[in-house]
Amino acid sequence: MSEKKRRFRPVHEWYELVQQPNGSFIRKLNEIYSNRSELVKESTNICLKSVQVFGETYGWDKNIIIVRSTGRINLLGMHIEHRGGAINTVAIKELFFLAEPRNDDVVVMKNVDSDKFPDEKFRIQECLPSYKIEDWDAWCHDEFEKRKNNLSVTWSIYIRAAILHLQHYCTAENREFNSNLRGMNIVVHSNIPQAAGLSSSSALVVAAAEASIYINNMEINDTDFIDICGYGEWYVGTRGGLGDHSAIKFGQPNSILHINFFPLRVKSLPLPKGYSIILANSLVEAHKKEGARNIFNNRVASYTLGLMLIKKSFPDYARKLTHLRDLNQKTLGVDDIEIYKIIKSLPESITRNELSKNLPECQSEVHHIFRSHVEPDEGYKIRQVCMYGIAECSRSDMAVNFLEKGDIVNFGELINISHDGDRVTHIVNSKRVPINNNYSDDKSWGYLL
């Protein structure tokens, strides 16, 4: 029997296997958790509950696969992977995704926590147009506007995002499907804290993509897989990058991953001996509702618009500036003073009308960028956002050297500086007061580089 066929097991067999003390399932969890019995037990219970719910919902004789996904913590390299910057991540917690192949294209979804996440389903072909999507980004904008008030689509949006983009990936220019994706019967269960900035949603995207690829007997390389997940999540409404999905896909036990983008490269760095990472849940939720989505997409837009302004103001450097990460002394062959000059050219704040006047040759692109969010009342803080991104790219690259040396002190200092760049308050004379993170002409920025 082939390895792929062997991974499909009847639900009742999985139920028995998960409970076997010396079985392959427990052995794998012991490997992941370094034989820490309390963590292995928690993971086992989550999976066992998932299998039980699947059996009770769809039948104990159904042949299924089990996909395990994780959350992630990004220690350094905040929101810069879409600018070409690197990230430094660790994998945490887990999500189990159980799937049975169907003979049609219907995707039926059940969450063990059904009180929070009601049952949902969709038909793949009904969610896609009858033509080849030429611009996935623009199409996702259109779809987001259509379903704004559709309360029937909630948590399943992340499963839809992965599967619809995978089907788009498998669609030829003549609209013929190179592979007509099969539907699935699904059960999901997770202990990743929700709305806590730990990628519980991206964990669902990655698991859905893994399951669909496996069920449809497809071979997809790592770079394309990450693209499918990352750009697929644009369907949800945010315009993030590929970092969360890469961290989940390549996560390893007891390791910090240093992940570069464009091109994708992954380096595993051991967690320095004698140290542990402690995760404390503040219980402050970061739901991807309209307000939070606007803020996130506004910052992504500010990065893009900032680089466009720089290329126009400094045409001699334009060909070297593919991504914001390229704005550094080494890539441009300049000194610190020139970097400061470039940054100072960026506006502290600028309106949409002013941007349109400043970038008349890029009107189509500029107005497309505007679609993802509402215009900020105080204008786009271009200089502030780009300054943080440029410095964060530099800090993230520096992290590798410290981690390889086991220098956790300097690595931690980089993390502190990184968080200072986007803190909203700090303590002055025993009182918490707002922080002004604007980078005005009268400020010195050298300490950030």
CA–CA gap between residue 67 and residue 74 (Å, rounded)? 23
Question: Are 310 and 220 contacting, i.e. CB atoms less than 8 angstroms apart?
Answer: no
Q: Which long-range contacts (CB under 8 A, 24 or more apart) does 113-118 make?
A: 113/189, 116/194, 117/154, 117/155, 117/188, 118/154
Q: What is the dihedral of CA 195, 371, 131, 152, to 10 degrees?
A: 40
Segment 102-130 shows an average pLDDT of: 95
| Same fold for the pair 3-270 and 290-448 | no
In this prediction, residue 446 carries a pLDDT of: 46
**At 281, is the pLDDT very low, low, confident or very high (cuts 50, 70, 90)?**
confident
Nearest to 307 by CA among 335, 332, 342: 342
- The number of C-alpha atoms within 13 Å of 439 and in the hemisphere containing its C-beta is 24
pLDDT of residue 171: 86
Selection from 128, 83, 109, 125 nearest residue 325 by Cα: 83
| Average pLDDT of span 261-288 | 84
pLDDT confidence bin for 7, thresholds 50/70/90: confident
Euclidean distance between the first and the last CA atom of the chain, given in angstroms as a whole number: 57
How does strand 106-111 pair with strand 184-190? parallel
Give 235-274 pLDDT, tens digit per residue. 999 999 999 999 999 998 889 999 999 999 999 998 888 8
Buried b (16+ CB within 10 A) or exposed e, 289-317: eeeebbebbbbbbbbbbbbbbbbeebeeb
User: Residue 266 corresponds to which amino acid?
Assistant: V
Does this model's pTM top 0.85? My answer is yes
How big is the CA angle at 299 (ends 398 and 164), to the nearest 5 degrees?
100
Q: What percentage of the chain has pLDDT greater than the value 90?
A: 77
Q: Would you list the domain boundaries of the chain? A: 3-270, 290-448
Q: Which residue has the higher pLDDT, 437 or 356?
A: 356
Question: pLDDT by residue (tens digit) across 130-166?
Answer: 888 999 999 999 999 998 877 778 999 999 999 999 9
Give me the CATH code for the 290-448 domain, please.
1.20.1440.340
Q: What is the mean pLDDT of residues 200-218?
A: 96
Dig out the tokens for 130 from the structure: 């009858």
pLDDT score recorded for residue 6: 55
* CATH match of 3-270 with 2.30.30.60: no
Residue 30 has a pLDDT of: 94
pLDDT band at residue 228, thresholds of 50, 70 and 90? very high
Burial class, 225, CB count within 10 angstroms (exposed 0-12 / middle 13-18 / buried 19+): buried
